Structure 1
């Protein structure tokens, strides 16, 4: 069974993360399937843009602690999203945690429902948002990035829009996220493929600079943190649904 389903309508391919039983956690398999589908979209001239969506109540819970991708595979996926010659939009209607926020940072546009919820929870399991800082820090308000990276506290869609993580949120809590997504998609359908590719290169350039400068160091730093005793305790506590030993 595939973990990433596809649908196509009027130039827009929707790639849906479809592993709700583990909250669309970023397993090695899901990352590989998503990378494969993105490559197909990039090569398909009929595809004007890609929407990244999800089933279930969670867009992505972050790394799958039981079957994680290699750090290099995950960084390659983030870079692939940024370098794809077609815009990538995220459609979020639930919770997003940890590495899932890295995916949003790699997308060009993000539409989120008013009740969506976000959190950078890495510090609570003894690690840091190392690799996803590549896509997040160039986009986020610096003070907000410091707060949420350090505390791991959740924040809502309005705050996500204020700090630069989310592009648009419906005005009312009962409005569907498609009310803000639809105008963006219509605008992309009216744009030329060449124009979109070159415009995306411009807006993604600042984020991609961080990959050239910092990716290798952050991969190594992340691997070291995940191999530490503190991280082992944090991940065990998470899987056992208890507080880690350091919680006061």
Structure 2
């Protein structure tokens, strides 16, 4: 039996998905892609999971597609077809997904980071869109990366393939924060605890709202948002949250 290369652990409402293929720098091999997609599905479908954390073993977060497998593959190879499903599952997850990046991320690995709702990196982590330097295009990852990045930075970094550090990654919007390596786990814990304070239904609806394409007319947008707001004010979570506030206690989902 082949050893698992991606692990799923659930504790206290947090599902931790760990890339554990350090021998190939956590590259997105067929096995890693298959297991990552399956574990994401399991975690997201679990009503007891409030936050998903994507992390890794070894020095490298993820080096992108497994180039050994990709050499000689045609345009319809499995990796190109499978990877979009992984990015979409993270991006569209009703459960918040947080990336814990303790080492370098390259190409598809940066796409994973960008797909997550929140990304925290150690200051010594580095990033690069290295695709053009091997004669390919960062096409699939652009779907998750471009909504995060400042346009000037996107042009520069996609076209040059240059490596940049976590501090700059935070400045251009790729990650939320860069912290000393020793403080990484504490920062991840701070975010997971903050996310656990949100009501699950409200978090899911807020994520959907953030992804939604806005109507061209402001009046239409305001009407749409008014309906969403009213529905949650009158809903079970909204009513419980207001009762908890009045009674000076934690709401049911935060206990």
The 3 A distance-change label for structure 1 pair 15 and 174 is closer
| Of 136, 140, 146, the match for 1:137 | 146
Give the aligned partner of residue 77 of structure 1. 86
Q: Within 5 Å, which residues of 2 pair with 1:1-248? A: 1-68=3-70, 69-170=78-179, 173=180, 175-205=182-212
> Which runs of no fewer than 5 residues in structure 1 stay unpaired?
207-248
- Is contact 1:169–1:180 with CA below 8 Å preserved after alignment? no
Partner Cα distance (2:177, 2:186) in 1: 10
Provide, for residues 20-54 of structure 1, a one-character-per-residue CA deviation record: whole Å limited to 9, x for no partner. Answer: 00000011211111110111111111100100000
Partner Cα distance (1:187, 1:9) in 2: 16
TM-score (norm 1): 0.79
Partner Cα distance (2:101, 2:65) in 1: 18
- Is contact 2:102–2:181 with CA below 8 Å preserved after alignment? no
Partner Cα distance (1:204, 1:32) in 2: 26
Provide, for residues 182-236 of structure 1, a one-character-per-residue CA deviation record: whole Å limited to 9, x for no partner. Answer: 2211111111110111111122336xxxxxxxxxxxxxxxxxxxxxxxxxxxxxx
Deviation for aligned residue 1:174: 5.5
TM-score (norm 2): 0.77
- Is contact 1:50–1:86 with CA below 8 Å preserved after alignment? yes
Partner Cα distance (2:209, 2:80) in 1: 27
The residue matched to 1:166 in structure 2 has which SS? coil
Provide, for residues 113-159 of structure 1, a one-character-per-residue CA deviation record: whole Å limited to 9, x for no partner. Answer: 11110011001101111110011111100101111111111100010
The residue matched to 1:169 in structure 2 has which SS? strand
Deviation for aligned residue 1:72: 1.9
The 3 A distance-change label for structure 1 pair 126 and 53 is same
Larger radius of gyration: 2
Segments ≥4 residues shifted beyond 3 Å: none
Partner Cα distance (2:97, 2:205) in 1: 14
> Which runs of no fewer than 5 residues in structure 2 stay unpaired?
71-77, 214-255
Partner Cα distance (1:76, 1:6) in 2: 18
